[in-house]
Amino acid sequence: MMILRLAFSLILLLATRIAYAQNVINNVSTPEHLPVTGTKVSLVPPKGFEKAENFLGFQQTQSGSSILVMSIPAQFEKLRAGLTKEAFLSKGVEISSIEPLTLNGMPAAFLTGTQSAYGNVYAKLILCFGKDDESVMINGAYPQDLPEVGKQIKEAILGAYFDAGKKVNPFETVDFEISTTGSKLVFAKNVANALVYNMDGKVPTQSTDKTSFILSKSMSRLDIPDKKLFCLGRARQLYPELSVDSVNAVIIDGIEGYELSGIAKNKNTGQEEQVYQAVLFSDNMYYIIIGSSNNDFANNLQTFKSITKSFKRK
């Protein structure tokens, strides 16, 4: 559940034929559909939209509009349980409607709402669908005063095509890599363009040892004047009851940043966990690395630090 929470926080179409009948949508792939790298989704982006630089999907820089595609390793029914107005409001999104759908035989939901960011109000169009072992969230956003752009985004999202049999390389969408050689951690999944490592390679893990290691990159450029304070703030967003033991400046792969460690309480189990976080700042973007463990705190902390030192950009 920790992984799904991060994905939700973290964070957080249209030459296709669409048949509507009692909220049922059946899409077919067309030559105009463009694959979203690293996912099983393809869609026809609206006019003026280009492949996004820092997230999976498409963007129109001029208007500040975007379509983000996120794969989630969870049953759709579990994901749907969290699609509530209250859950989104806690993330700053005010949902106005939730419409149940069926997309190519899969259960789905289409949500509309608004979110304030950077002094502007953005309209949100969110399509969620999935199967027993994986789900997809397509998140469209555009300035509220550009309804024509919103109409195109809605058409694009509802025209999405999902190729269940497509093989995806989980590493092709990230511009960084690490080495876990000599550690007990194994690669599990790419979740929302974050690399997840744990003890058994499953998400969620079925191991009693909950040690995990997650790496991701920010989706947009930010001006962060106080980087140390930012690092502390991000850690406490994920772990509100975090007791910080140390915060140190680091330079890894030529990138400056901060690493911290401490003890936090797991929201689900109530157990104490060793927490490690590193944030590396580069070109107004940042890489974030999070390690956590419910056992052998001292050794796992050293493992987290050692793996972090192996970080390098491709």
In the block, which residue shows the tokens 């559909």? Answer: 33
Output b/e per residue, 277-309; b: 16+ Cβ within 10 A: bbbbbeeebbbbbbbbbbeeeeebbebbbebbe
Mean pLDDT computed over 98-120: 94
Mean pLDDT score of the chain: 91
- Provide the edge-to-edge strand list for the sheet that holds 186-191: 186-191, 194-198, 212-217, 285-293, 272-282, 255-265, 243-252
pLDDT of residue 16: 32
Q: Which amino acid is at 8?
A: F
Tell which wins on pLDDT, 278 or 53.
278
pLDDT of residue 266: 86
Asked if pLDDT for residue 10 goes beyond 60, the answer is no
Asked if pLDDT for residue 192 goes beyond 60, the answer is yes
Whole-angstrom distance, CA of residue 35 vs CA of residue 133: 21
Question: Is residue 174 within 8 Å of 195, Cβ to Cβ?
Answer: yes
pLDDT of residue 261: 98
Question: Is residue 12 within 8 Å of 82, Cβ to Cβ?
Answer: no
pLDDT of residue 20: 35
Whole-angstrom distance, CA of residue 277 vs CA of residue 292: 9
pLDDT of residue 125: 98
pLDDT tens-digit series, residues 14-39: 223 333 334 899 999 999 999 999 99
Strand 24-26 and strand 93-103: the pairing is: parallel
pLDDT tens-digit series, residues 74-90: 889 988 898 999 999 98
| Complete domains list, the chain, with CATH | 2-162 (3.40.1000.10), 176-313 (3.40.1000.10)
pLDDT of residue 119: 85
Mean pLDDT computed over 240-256: 97
Mean pLDDT computed over 169-181: 95
pLDDT of residue 12: 44
pLDDT tens-digit series, residues 124-163: 999 999 988 899 999 999 999 999 999 999 999 999 999 9
Mean pLDDT computed over 101-112: 96
pLDDT tens-digit series, residues 39-54: 999 999 999 999 998 8
